[in-house]
Amino acid sequence: MRNLRSFPYSTISIVLIHVNILVSFKFSFTEGFDSVIQLPHSGSAGTRPRSKRVFYIDDFGAKGNGLHDDTEAFKNVWKTACSLSRRTKVVIPSGKSFLFHPIDIAGPCQSKVTLMILGTIVAPKNPDVWKGLNRRKWLYFHGVNHLTIEGGGTINGMGQEWWARSCKTNSSNPCRNAPTAITFHRCKNLKVSNLKVVNSQKMHMAFTSCMRVVASHLKVLAPATSPNTDGIHVSVTKGIEVKDCIIRTGDDCISIVSNSSRIRIRNISCGPGHGISIGSLGKSNSWSQVRDVMVDGAYLDNTDNGVRIKTWQGGGGFAANITFKNVFMENVSNPIIIDQYYCDSRHPCKNQTSAVKVEDVSFINIKGTSATEEAVKFACSDASPCEGLYLEDIFLLTNNGGRTRSFCWEAHGSSWGLQHPPACFCGCKSFIRQNVGLDSAIQSF
């Protein structure tokens, strides 16, 4: 290693400043993060206030032993609470485990309902329970407005047998649908907070065709090897905020797809998993649009991707007005990636000219370490190039402190501030001088 005294003071300062930024960024984001989203301790069920507005599921015949089917008891308590014209609360008490078979929980309700999950809701272990039923659903809320779900309890999808039967786990298995643990469809003014959702059969939590949603202080957990177990999935939804969540699964921590807009994601800890993804979009020549997305504050650890936009060839529509900012990454493969040649298929995907348009996408203040040398990848369509890409203050090294590189194909944009690796669509002189000095400093360590 060469003596640091041989380098100009300004060059050393640049490196040390950015090393300090990485350390302080990680410390401020990770230290105390668990405490920020600590689930509250559920209260004792020993003494219950009897109220005409509070309904306990075990007063409607639920056993809560994890073996007895408590689905009908929940249907009855929900029907009662939903039918009243005043604000009501349904309580899943602590210290018990309630077995729910697939269930539709329908609105509209006469008034606002709060579902307090203090204990545990578990799914049947055997996928055969879904025979003759919709295999995509387990807990399915639809048409319920002004619903609040909270309480610090757990929703357990018991997905182990589903994973074993998946074609992603064993290619000799048939590819079949599996349930999303909890789905919200056509719900407005929805709040979901202070819950743990674990081991879903497939996706953990999905918001489809919803409006005005806040999802916060959630822990979403499944093994890294569990197939297709996205943490939070957003589809055809407008106006959703996801904040202060820990997500560790076998697929995308957060996935955003078709016709969604006004999305705000803040303070997310992600990993393992596939990162934070917009897409995939345009599969089977479909039309999709995703716009007005802001990801501000995330820590990604050992994920297969960092912040990603993925589209299939042959699709239509656009992904636009998207910002990823203030993201720290540790040992992340593909930290920054736009892939318009995405193909998740057993067979090669054929080349097609049409594509989902990707434009006006910003990556700001993204720092950390990459598991691969190619830390920035923009693989865009020949017929519909990416336009309006913007990079600002990017600092990504390999795990051993080495240099990384960028790849661009049909990608057009600009950059500002520190750029490592150098942005492949920028050639301004000040940018080149800055990175030459930085590269020299990196080589010295």
DSSP state letters, 100-157: --SEEEE---SS-EEEEE-SEEE--S-GGGGTTS-TTEEEEEES--SEEEESS-EEE-
pTM of the model: 0.88
The helices-and-strands tally (H runs, E runs) of the chain is 5, 28
Answer yes or no: 274 catalytic.
yes
Interatomic CA distance for residues 292 and 287, integer angstroms? 17
| 142-151 per-position pLDDT tens digit | 999 999 999 9
The pair of structure tokens assigned to 158 is 């018991």
Residues of the chain falling short of pLDDT 50? 1-19, 21, 23, 27, 32, 35-36, 40-46, 426-445
Interatomic CA distance for residues 376 and 424, integer angstroms? 9
Of 18, 146, 274, 420, the active-site residue reads 274
Residues in the chain: 445
Half-sphere exposure of 233 (CA within 13 A, CB side): 25
Tell me, what's the pLDDT at 429? 37
Q: Percent of the chain having pLDDT more than 70?
A: 84
Peptide bond into 108 cis (omega under 30): yes
Tell me, what's the pLDDT at 29? 53
Tell me, what's the pLDDT at 34? 53
Tell me, what's the pLDDT at 227? 97
Our measurement of the distance from residue 151's CA atom to the centroid of its chain's CA atoms, rounded to an integer in Å, reads 22
Name the region of 313 (left: φ>0; alpha: ψ -120 to 50; beta: rest).
beta
For residue 289, count other CB atoms closer than 10 A to its CB: 16
Interatomic CA distance for residues 186 and 200, integer angstroms? 21
Whether domain 1-31+252-445 has CATH 2.160.20.10: yes
Interatomic CA distance for residues 369 and 350, integer angstroms? 34
Interatomic CA distance for residues 330 and 436, integer angstroms? 24
> Are the beta carbons of 222 and 159 closer than 8 angstroms?
yes
Beta bridge partners of 342: none
Closest CA relative to residue 436, chosen from 11, 21, 1: 11
Tell me, what's the pLDDT at 49? 53
For residue 105, count other CB atoms closer than 10 A to its CB: 22
* Sequence-separated (6 or more) residues with CB below 8 Å from residue 224: 248, 249, 250, 272, 273
Q: What are phi and psi of 15, to 5 degrees?
A: -65, -50
For residue 6, count other CB atoms closer than 10 A to its CB: 8
Closest CA relative to residue 276, chosen from 258, 260, 296, 291: 296
Tell me, what's the pLDDT at 52? 74
